[in-house]
Amino acid sequence: MEQTDFRKYLGLMLKDENFWIAWSLVSGNAFGGLWLIGGYVYRNLAHVLHDTPKPRADFDFIVEHAKEAREIKLHNGWKVEKNRYGNPKFVSEKFCIDYVPLANIDSIKRRGFAPTIENFLSGTPLTVQSVAFSIITQELVGDVGLKAILERTIGVNDKEQAEIAARNKGKSVKEYAEEKADALGFRAVVS
């Protein structure tokens, strides 16, 4: 990715009031590494690079070390719920924030891997999901995801995790990838 494009991406995030709220809530309840992942990252990158629609505010963060549930502190108007994986989800009337401890990532646990961002990235279902924004270093990480976004393609990154994700959506892996690709105007490269 060109440095200019990265600055555009960073600029887009820094102008987003919801990003600052999300960052404040998550960083106040975590220690160590902190990464923004998921659709907010890859959809904003696609928006900057390919003029796709701007994503809605819905944030997914991976935290290296999470505070205990009883220690979590939130701003007024926010509450803690559990997401479908049993991890904390910060909820307000405006948007939600998934707060996922790195050691709780399904693909890391399933494969018996050490809880690192690299191991998270290697276990995402689809290639386009294999990208993260490090809040600490303010860098994009994930060559597989960045390449997919630059090439406007979506393929399988981790076969077993793709099968799990597709099954949870009631779809085949091919249908799951094609749905994500169609939403971005990308090409699915799944047989």
CATH number of the domain to which 103 belongs: 3.30.460.10
Question: Does residue 135 belong to any structural domain of this protein?
Answer: yes
Q: pLDDT, tens digit, for every residue of 35-52?
A: 999 999 999 999 988 999
Question: Does residue 163 belong to any structural domain of this protein?
Answer: no
Read out DSSP for 69-86?
GGG----TT-EEEE-TTS
pLDDT at 6 over 90: no
Question: Does residue 190 belong to any structural domain of this protein?
Answer: no
Q: pLDDT, tens digit, for every residue of 130-176?
A: 999 999 988 899 999 999 999 999 999 999 999 999 999 999 999 99
Average of pLDDT values for 10-31?
89
Question: Does residue 82 belong to any structural domain of this protein?
Answer: yes
| DSSP tally for the chain: helices H, then strands E | 8, 9
Question: Does residue 17 belong to any structural domain of this protein?
Answer: yes
Q: pLDDT, tens digit, for every residue of 21-30?
A: 999 999 999 9
pTM: 0.92
Question: Does residue 11 belong to any structural domain of this protein?
Answer: yes
Say if strands 153-154 and 187-188 run parallel, antiparallel, or are unpaired: parallel
Look up the domain containing 136 and give its range: 3-142
Question: Does residue 182 belong to any structural domain of this protein?
Answer: no
Domain count, the chain: 1
